[in-house]
C-alpha cells in the first residue's frame, strides 16, 4: 500500500501515461497484453523522474502495480478485493478506508489522492453496471462487475459528495462465491448440533421460515446453508436484488431484480418476480431479502401451496420481524387493517430464526429460534424454542455462552404438519443435554 509520497509519484505517472495509452489503444489486445504495455510505459515514466529513480525495488514495483490498478481496475482498493478474509470495504474519505474482517472493523493504510480520485473509482464501478453517481443521481446502488473474479457480483453503495457532506462515500459488500455448508457454520460457533437438527427438521418438513437479523449479521449466509436441507427432487425459484444465493441443488431457477437504467426505464422489481414465479410451478420460493411490497406476495405464496419457502428480513429480534413484515405489507397501500395483516402473517409464517453479530468479537450466532404460534387478540404469539445464553467472555475477548432449548415444545399443529411429511421431532429436543 502506498504512502503519500509514493502515491504522488504514482498519480503523476498515471496522468502522463493516460494520454499515450489511450492514443495507442488496440481493441484486439488481451487484458494481459494491455497491462504489460502499460507496465512498460509506467516503468519508463517513473524511472525517468527524479523521485522515482531513487526508489528501491519493492517501492518501484508497488508504484507500477498501483498505476496499473488506477488505469484499468479499482485503484487503491484493488488489492483489498481478492482478500477472502475481508467481507466489506468502506471508503469514508480519501485517507479513511476501513474493512470488516472476521466480523470486526479495522482501519487500513489505503489512501486515495483526493475526493476526485475516489469519485473516479466510483464512476468506474457504476458505469460498468450501467449506473451513474453524480450530482443528478447522487445515490448509487449497483453490482461490481468483474467476470471470473471471486468478488464478481459484490454489492456496491455509493454516495456523491454534496449529499455526502464531507467526501464521496463508497461501500462494497463483497460477494462470497463459495457455498457454505451448515457444518461449516456450526464449526464457527454459529449454532450447535441440536439447532442444526431442528433447522433441518423444519426445512425438510416444509415449514415457512423467516431468517431475521441486523445488517451484516449473516442472514444470507445462513439462508444459503439452510437451503442445503431442501430435498433434491424439488424445484426452487430464488429471487434476489443481487445474486448472492448459491443453492447446491439440481433444480434451481435463479432470478434477480433489475434497477431502472439511466433514463429511468426497464425496472423489474422483486415483487414482480415473486408474482411471476408463482406461474412457474415452484415447490419452494426463496427470496433473498424482503424489504418492501414483495413481502405481501411472499406471504400469500406461502399460504397458497408454496409451503417450505424461505426469506430474510432486517429486524432487531424475532418478534420485531413480524412487525417489520406488517410495515412492508402496509407500504403496498392495502386497505387491510393492521390486525388483519398480522393474522395473515401468523397464518403464513411458521418459524423465525434470529441471527446476531456480536460487536465485541465479530462472531455471528443464532440467538433465537422462535415458533409463530398464532394470534392472541390482535397480537401474534411467539414462542422461543431455542436460544443462545451468553455467559461471559474468554481471556482473548471471545463471546462465551450456551445454545439451549427453553423447554417450550412446538404446538400440536406444527408437530402434526411435520409428522405428515415424515419428520418426527423427538422430545429430546426440549431438554438440556
Per-residue pLDDT tens digits for 237-250? 999 988 888 888 99
From the CA atom positions of the chain, what is the Rg in Å?
25
- Separation in Å, CA 181 to CA 188, 227, 238, 308, 316: 11, 9, 18, 19, 25
Q: Are 297 and 309 in contact (CB under 8 A)?
A: no
Ramachandran region of residue 72, left (φ > 0), alpha (ψ -120 to 50) or beta?
alpha
pLDDT of res. 427: 73
Is residue 263's pLDDT more than 80?
A: no
Per-residue pLDDT tens digits for 312-368? 999 999 999 999 999 999 988 888 999 999 999 999 999 999 999 998 899 999 999
Is residue 103's pLDDT more than 80?
A: yes
pLDDT of res. 179: 72
pLDDT of res. 23: 63
The pTM is what?
0.87
Mean pLDDT of 389-417: 92
Per-residue pLDDT tens digits for 116-169? 999 999 999 999 998 899 998 999 999 999 998 989 989 999 999 999 999 999
The residues pairing with 211 across neighbouring beta strands, listed in sequence order, are: 312, 353
pLDDT of res. 297: 87
pLDDT of res. 303: 83
Is residue 262's pLDDT more than 80?
A: no
**pLDDT-based confidence at residue 231 (cuts at 50, 70, 90):** very high
pLDDT of res. 26: 66
Q: Which residue has the higher pLDDT, 118 or 24?
A: 118
Q: Alpha-carbon distance 373 to 370, whole Å?
A: 9
- Torsion sign across C-alpha atoms 324, 328, 330, 331: positive
Ramachandran region of residue 279, left (φ > 0), alpha (ψ -120 to 50) or beta?
alpha
What residues contact residue 38 under an 8 Å CB cut-off, 6+ apart? Answer: 17, 21, 67, 68, 71, 72
- Separation in Å, CA 407 to CA 181, 340, 387, 425: 28, 31, 11, 14
Is residue 234's pLDDT more than 60?
A: yes
Per-residue pLDDT tens digits for 281-309? 999 999 999 988 889 988 988 887 789 99
Q: How many CB atoms lie within 10 A of CB 288?
A: 23
Per-residue pLDDT tens digits for 183-221? 999 999 999 999 999 999 999 999 999 999 998 899 999
> Mind spelling out the 3-state secondary structure of the chain?
CCCHHHHHHHHHHHHHHHHHHHHCCCCCCCHHHHHHHHHHHHHHHHHHCCCHHHCCHHHHHHHHHHHHHHHHCCHHHHHHCCCCCEEEEEEEECCEEEEEECCEEEECCCCCCCHHHHHHHHHHHHHHCCCCCCCCCCEEEEECCCCCCCCCCCEEEEECECCECCCCEEEEECCCCCCCCHHHHHHCCCCCHHHHHHHHHHHHCCCCEEEEECCCCCHHHHHHHHHHHCCCCCCEEEEECCCCCCCCCCCEEEEECECCCCCCCCCECHHHHHHHHCCCCCCEEEECCCCCCHHHHHHHHHHCCCCCCEEEEECCCHHHHHHHHHHHHHCCCCCCCHHHHHHHHHHHCCEEEEEEECCCCCCEEEEEEEEEEEEECCEEEEEEEEEEEEEEECCCCCEEEEEEECCCCCCHHHHHHHHHCCCCCCHHHHCCC
Per-residue pLDDT tens digits for 30-69? 889 999 999 999 999 999 999 988 999 999 999 999 999 9
Residue 200 exposed, middle or buried by CB count within 10 Å (0-12, 13-18, 19+)? middle
Amino acid at each position: 500500500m502506498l504512502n503519500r509520497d509514493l502515491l504522488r509519484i504514482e498519480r503523476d505517472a498515471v496522468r502522463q501515461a493516460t494520454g499515450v495509452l489511450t492514443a495507442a489503444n488496440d481493441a484486439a489486445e488481451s487484458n494481459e497484453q494491455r497491462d504489460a504495455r502499460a507496465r512498460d510505459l509506467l516503468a519508463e515514466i517513473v524511472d525517468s523522474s527524479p523521485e522515482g529513480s531513487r526508489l528501491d525495488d519493492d517501492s518501484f514495483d508497488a508504484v507500477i502495480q498501483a498505476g496499473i490498478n488506477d488505469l484499468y481496475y479499482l485503484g487503491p482498493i484493488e488489492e483489498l478485493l481478492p482478500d477472502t478474509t475481508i467481507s466489506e470495504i468502506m471508503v469514508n474519505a480519501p485517507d479513511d478506508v476501513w474493512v470488516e474482517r472476521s466480523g470486526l472493523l479495522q482501519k487500513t493504510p489505503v489512501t486515495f489522492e483526493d475526493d476526485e480520485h475516489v469519485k473516479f473509482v466510483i464512476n468506474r464501478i457504476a458505469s460498468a453496471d450501467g449506473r451513474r453517481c453524480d450530482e443528478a443521481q447522487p445515490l448509487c446502488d449497483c453490482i461490481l462487475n468483474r467476470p471470473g473474479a471471486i468478488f464478481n457480483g459484490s454489492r456496491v453503495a455509493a454516495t456523491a459528495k454534496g449529499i455526502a457532506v464531507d467526501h464521496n462515500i463508497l461501500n462494497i459488500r463483497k460477494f462470497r462465491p463459495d457455498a457454505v455448508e451448515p457444518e461449516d457454520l456450526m464449526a464457527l460457533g454459529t449454532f450447535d448440533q441440536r439447532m442444526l437438527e431442528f433447522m433441518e427438521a423444519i426445512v425438510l418438513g416444509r415449514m415457512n421460515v423467516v431468517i431475521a437479523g441486523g445488517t451484516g449479521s449473516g442472514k444470507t449466509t445462513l439462508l444459503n446453508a439452510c437451503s442445503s436441507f431442501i430435498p433434491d427432487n424439488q424445484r426452487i425459484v430464488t429471487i434476489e436484488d443481487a445474486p448472492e444465493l448459491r443453492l447446491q441443488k439440481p433444480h434451481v431457477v435463479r432470478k434477480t431484480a433489475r434497477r431502472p437504467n439511466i433514463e429511468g426505464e426497464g425496472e423489474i422489481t422483486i415483487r414482480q418476480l415473486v408474482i411471476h414465479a408463482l406461474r412457474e410451478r415452484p415447490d419452494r420460493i426463496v427470496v433473498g431479502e424482503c424489504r418492501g411490497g414483495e413481502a405481501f406476495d411472499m406471504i400469500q405464496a406461502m399460504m397458497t401451496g408454496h409451503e417450505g419457502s424461505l426469506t430474510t428480513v432486517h429486524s432487531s429480534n424475532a418478534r420485531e420481524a413480524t412487525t417489520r413484515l406488517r410495515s412492508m405489507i402496509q407500504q403496498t397501500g392495502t386497505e387491510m387493517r393492521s390486525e388483519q395483516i398480522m393474522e395473515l402473517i401468523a397464518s403464513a409464517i411458521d418459524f423465525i430464526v434470529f441471527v446476531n453479530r456480536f460487536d465485541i468479537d465479530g462472531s455471528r450466532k443464532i440467538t433465537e429460534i422462535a415458533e409463530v404460534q398464532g394470534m392472541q387478540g390482535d397480537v401474534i404469539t411467539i414462542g422461543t424454542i431455542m436460544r443462545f445464553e451468553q455467559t461471559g467472555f474468554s481471556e482473548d475477548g471471545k463471546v462465551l455462552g450456551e445454545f439451549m432449548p427453553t423447554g417450550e415444545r412446538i404446538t400440536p399443529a406444527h408437530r402434526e404438519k411435520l409428522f405428515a411429511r415424515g419428520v418426527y421431532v423427538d422430545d429430546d429436543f426440549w431438554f438440556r443435554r
